[in-house]
Chains A and B, each alone.
Chain A
Amino acid sequence: MKRISVVVSFIVLLSMVLAACAPAATPAATQPPAAAQPTTPPASSSQPVTIDFWYIPFTNWDTALNKIIADFQAANPNITVNATQVPYEDFTTKVATTVPTGQGPDVLTPYHGWIATYQKSGFIAPIPEDVLPTSQLKNDLVSAADVLVFDGKYYAVPFYMMDYALFYNKDYFAKAGITTVPTTWYELEDAAKKCTQRDSSGKMVVNGYYQLFSQQDHIIWKNLLIQWGAPLFSADYKKALWNTSQAGYDAWTWFTELTTKDKVSQPNFNDSAYAAFYTGQACMIIAGPQVIGQIKSQAPDLNYGTAPLVKGPATDEAAANHNIAQYWSFAITSKAAKDPAKYEASAKFLKYLISDAAVKTYSPIIGALPPTKSMMSDPMYTEDPYLKAFLTGLPYSQALFWVDEQGERQLAIDMGDKVLINGEDPKAVLDWGTAQEQALLDKYWAP
């Protein structure tokens, strides 16, 4: 009896332990990336095919994308695009848990800063040459799209292209007696001091320039370093060089002093710099063209203007005017690449998404710049009183290469909080931030 108990117990335990280990032995991530060997799509196909398309439901995206999808389907009756909204917060998690197992989307809209990670993880496949040749993309797309190229192949095409420009409240400018729009950061500082409004008890009412690292300023401060003539990264993107020049320290210190010394901005005044601007809590902000769409819907009567991004003190013209392009993108997943019909249909969809017709459809709805060079001279941009300021900056714009977009973004937020809220020495914080960034780079480049 005792022996039977021992034997049965042992068998039960052993089977449980083996069961415990079995699924873990082959976690999904161990599967080789399908992107490595995409199937060559057939020359053409008229068989009905459905592609699953995931996008993030940012303001007005559903309206814009639904229109484009309807137009695309009308032109390609054999292709059905099944669109699904996936929240920004969960996007990468859902992609990481579905695509490697052959589920999830065929086409998706990652932020351009995620592309390096997605490509390295094998989530996305190169755009097939026979539908969209690399030479054609190189010729047609703006230079900011160069960061989408890996091993000589495009892995995505840009969508919702934007750079930065100055937004200013004309009424506040008039009230403060400011007659010329700032063209340099130092002029912006002066204007911000004049524009800042406080009540009788000294409480901030209007921020002269609203600084918010959790939104646009986690990118703007990096641009500022370049505009001051400081390097950001080594040419191979393996070294963070933020604190390797006096210009780097000067730029960072000057920027944070807008809040700590000039007091033209109050930390956490509003969770959104855009909302702060269109609700009259900020006299100036630096932001992308998407704010134009938000103002149109939220505060159509706001008396405001846009102007090209203010210059920095760098002696080199390109550096002084430097701007950062950022955008979302359309990419084909490695899941789609395994199915020739879906791969071809997805590529056709991408081709349509960067066409003049599609860009002209979505740009006015969501407030975006064109992803192609040919569209940059289109009157819809050049004659738009708000968008033309962004076009001025586009030739100076470069997209940042992100190794860990969320980690790098959080790092900038922490750096801002350390100086603006904790009152820490900006130079020490820049040293700390550079070391943290280097750790992220090392992790990404580790074999």
Chain B
Amino acid sequence: MKLRLSQKNALWGFAFIALPVIYFLFIFIVPMVQAFYFSVLNYNTLSTQTHFIGLANYASMLEDDVFWTAIWNSLRYALVRAPGVLLISLITALLFQNITRGKGFLQTLIMLPFMTSGVAMAWIFNLIYSRIGPITALLSDLGVQNPQLLTSPKTALYAIAAVTIWGSIGYYALLFTVGLNAIPNDYYDAAKVDGASPWQIFKHITIPLLNPTIVLVSIIAVTASLKNFDVVRSMAANGGPINSTLTLPLMIYLEAFRRMNMGRASAMTLVFFLFILIITFIQLKLITREVRY
């Protein structure tokens, strides 16, 4: 078949975009379609029967109190971790702006926990929080009765959040440092000439001009908090005590690989995806402001 030049060009065009299209289809779209397909089956690897059950997995999930506990725990975890890590990272980045000697060394040092495996970090903190660990000893000396942070339903989730905050300060501080370095010095010079105080400079120049970085970092921090699995799994095992550390990713894992209920786990995965999408959308709406230099 003889093709016209425009048709040949079109085919070449398709050939070039085929690679990224196939990549995205297989890496993103296919698993999603497959997850949706599994979510409407009673697909359990321990069962010999698999058949279509419609939205029954979604219905049973929404009726399950533990599922709502997991949603609430994920939110609590993100609400503590994301603002915590943003605030401390921003302060760290601002402090770095004023350091001249040993800056590179300190930045490397603060990045070390981020480069450490989450599982290794979790096990070290399991020891630190344990009955014979230094934190328990310190709290005990301060008069706290039986201060076992990881075994109390009231404190376990926050104790885990504290570990992940500590572990990711370096990464977020680095992002803030890049953002701060991108702000032109002219604005600071002009403000100083006009007699602005350090607080006024921070409030009226640094924060507004850093907004694109804040938006980016907060979306990354919230999403990472909601998705955190390795540290939670290593420190909370099965989400105990009494489901107080059962986050949604952990619940999905337990449903899929402990109860072998792939259908219900797939339904949870899709709901989790929507959950993150909605939160990210709300975040974008709330904190996006246009900035012009």
Contacts and interface: CB of A to CB of B under 8 A. Distances in A.
A93 B260 contact: yes
Given A1-B7, A418-B242, A16 B48 contact: no
A5 interface: yes
Nearest to A270: B131
Contacts of B107: none
A413 B26 CA distance: 42
Contacts of B26: 16
B43 A27 contact: yes
Given A96-B46, A97-B45, A16 B242 contact: no
B241 A421 contact: yes
A385 interface: no
A121 interface: yes
Contacts of A380: none
B240 A4 contact: no
Interface string B4-47: 00110011001000100110011001100110011001011111
Nearest to A410: B238
Nearest to B21: A12
Interface stretch (A29-37, A232-240, A314-322): A29-37
Contacts of A4: 7, 10-11
A404 B46 CA distance: 11
A407 B6 contact: no
Contacts of B6: 1
A268 B44 contact: no
A418 B153 CA distance: 9
Nearest to B30: A20
Interface stretch (B144-152, B166-174, B209-217): B144-152
Most buried by A among B26, B44, B46, B238: B46
Chain B's interface size range is 35 or more
Nearest to A13: B25
Interface in A62-107: 92-93, 96-97, 100
Contact of A28 (B18, B45, B140, B259): B45
B200 interface: no
Interface string B28-70: 0110011001100101111111100000000000000000000
Contacts of A33: 48
B33 to A, nearest CB: 4
B43 A20 contact: no
Interface in A378-403: none
B123 interface: no
B257 interface: yes
Nearest to B25: A16
A117 B44 CA distance: 12
B280 interface: no
Interface string A1-42: 100110010001000110111011001111111000000000
A20 B153 contact: no
Could you say which interface size class chain A belongs to? 35 or more
A8 B33 contact: no
A185 interface: no
Contacts of A129: none
Interface in A223-282: 266-270
B12 to A, nearest CB: 12
B45 A422 contact: no
A408 to B, nearest CB: 12
Given A93-B257, A421-B153, A422-B153, A29 B46 contact: yes
Contact of B152 (A24, A27, A29, A421): A421
Nearest to B262: A27
Contacts of B223: none
A16 B260 contact: no
B258 interface: yes
Given A20-B37, A30-B50, A203-B140, A5 B260 contact: no
A435 to B, nearest CB: 12
A17 B33 contact: yes
A117 B48 CA distance: 11
Contact of A406 (B21, B29, B258): B258
B243 interface: yes
B42 to A, nearest CB: 10
A404 to B, nearest CB: 8
Contacts of B34: 20-21, 23-24
B108 to A, nearest CB: 35
B82 to A, nearest CB: 28
A20 B152 CA distance: 44
B153 A417 contact: yes
A431 interface: no
B233 to A, nearest CB: 11
A414 B18 contact: no
A288 interface: no
Contacts of B22: 16
Nearest to A201: B140
Contacts of B47: 29, 120-121
A122 interface: yes
B133 to A, nearest CB: 13
Interface centre among A24, A121, A266, A417 (most CB of B within 10 A): A24
Contacts of B146: 266-267
A407 B261 CA distance: 13
Interface string B208-233: 00000000000000000000000000
Contacts of B11: 4
30 contacts: A1-B7, A4-B10, A5-B10, A8-B14, A12-B21, A19-B30, A20-B34, A20-B37, A24-B34, A27-B41, A27-B262, A29-B45, A29-B47, A29-B48, A29-B50, A30-B49, A30-B50, A31-B48, A93-B257, A93-B260, A97-B45, A120-B47, A121-B45, A122-B48, A268-B151, A404-B259, A407-B259, A414-B240, A414-B241, A421-B151
Closest 10 pairs between A and B when the two form their complex, measured CB to CB: A20-B33, A268-B151, A96-B45, A20-B30, A417-B241, A30-B50, A121-B46, A16-B25, A24-B37, A417-B242
Given A1-B7, A21-B37, A96-B260, 17 more contacts: A5-B14, A12-B21, A16-B30, A17-B33, A20-B30, A20-B37, A24-B34, A30-B48, A93-B257, A97-B45, A100-B45, A120-B46, A120-B47, A268-B148, A417-B242, A421-B153, A421-B241
Interface of B: 6-7, 10-11, 14, 18, 21-22, 25-26, 29-30, 33-34, 37-38, 41, 43-50, 131, 140, 146, 148, 151-153, 238, 240-243, 257-260, 262
